[in-house]
Structure 1
Amino acid sequence: MFRPASVLAAALLSLPFSAHALESGPKQPLPMFDLQRLRLDPSALGSLVVGTGRTLAPGQLRVALNYHYEQLPMHFQTRWEPGAGTGLVENKMTAHLTVGVGVLSWLDVGGELPFVLTQGGKPTLEYFGPKTGGLATPWLTARAALLRQTKGAPFNLAVGLTAGLPVGSREAQAHEDYAWQPRLQLGYVGEGFQLGGEAGVFLRKRQDLGPVSYDPHDIAGNELRLGATVTSLHGETTRGEVSVITGVPLDGGRWGAELLIAIRRHALSRMDLYVMGGPGVGAGFDTPTFRFVAGVSIATSKVD
């Protein structure tokens, strides 16, 4: 005899077990790429993240240690929805060591060594995100000044090349098989202010994350990277800067942009303390909803 009450009771009792089976189902690692795209400028001449076409003086050395926090640096959405949410990576903390040195009057070189301290999030569909820290992609950079205001040019102009080394941790989602970022930087130093802008192409192996989110627009690949900054040069001890950076996908995907506001204080003649933070906008899956950086730098002479 068919008993509706018994069937309903059995169905209700099975729901917790079904849900548990779905949550504990097989999960796969993500396609491999470095989640971190923000580059800190080792010389920090003007902006901490946007070049201004200037180079460090010959023999000048700047070393900085930075703490870096990101909120929701990896989450999937079809439109920009600011606020809290869930994602494969919800909170991420990274330490960055940067070194910049002036080689010639028109050339400086530098490096960035990031280390993921901790990160975590929630599985999405059949994929799990990184839950461990580790060494991220180290970066080497070189910049050559083509035009300099100090030599009578109307503005500063430089070309730069940043290259990633393929030694980052795969478990921390911090590895690129190859990564190159050639850039053109432009700047102008006025009376008490400085303007800067840069345009470059971020070249890396294309990775399709459509199977993760079931959306063909979720792609990690080549990008046009643009940045602009304005900095105050007033004051002997404290100055501010406002920077905007954006990524325009070239292999499909969604765009993302960030507004970053920084305050730098010259604690000593050769030591700077600074903080920087701001929101991310756009529906790019690797654009954090908020970013915060705090750091200290020591230089052989005052950088800016």
Structure 2
Amino acid sequence: MNRPLSSSDPGALLAAVLAANETTPDPRLRQVMAAGIRHLHAFALEVDLTPAELQVGLDFLVEVGKATGAERNEGILLADILGLATLVQLRSARHSVEAGGTEPALVGPFWRAHQPLRSNGATISSDTTPGPRLEVRGRVVDLDGTPVPGARVETWQASPKGMYENQDPEQEDMNLRARFETDADGRFSFVSVRPAGYPVPTDGPCGRLLAAQGRKVMRPAHLHFIVLADGFKCLATQFFDVDDPHAYEDVVFGAVGSLLRKFEPDGHGGYRLDVDLKLEPGEARLPHCPLP
């Protein structure tokens, strides 16, 4: 017969919860849950968490779920502003980066499924999109620099107003979004407009958390890329405008040094950005797409 737990013995409580977790059939879930349980109990003890504070935290998580919908994903935003998403991305890609692969960055909450397939050299901005012209020329290669033909490259960006098209009723559907296929030399190219930085959404629970922390809320101007090719791990990354005033204050900690780039003037009032996307061998698997 099991003995009742003592209310003054947190170690015995932790041991009981961990023992209950041992019945979990999936070994990875068992490992993750055990670590999570240990850290949660240690956190509660370290800060001497009160019942009222626990309720505030639970209510916050409920609000995060309620704030997530077709136009935004507050859960992704929470992982972003806590630095968790960047940590997981960098940790997962550490061997690739050590071997010279492109550093990853967040997928973020604004990638959409079914972005339009366009031909290399196409313009991805609508005629009504203001802003200086930006020509992007890219190359997909392996870690040895060998071109990867037939790779799927997806890109998306905010407008010069700092809004993605799904947030802005004045933009055409799928504006500033595209999918390309690299040519025999692993190259792709497109024409767009120079993006602008923007604040993360602050009208939800994550915005209230940032305000309570007294934190800045800006993301520097950037372009997103996802690259998928047979025989290689999927790469999700971003390239940031080093001249953006918030280049070193990214609220989601994604603007690592190697991804900060100079948008070079083209001599005609526009800009040019050249990028190499270096892939690590492995299983090709797309990340979760947050928006339809």
Scaled by the length of structure 2, the TM-score of the pair is: 0.30
**Counting strand residues as a fraction of each chain, which structure ranks higher?**
1
Q: Which has the higher contact order (CA 8 A, sep 6+)?
A: 2
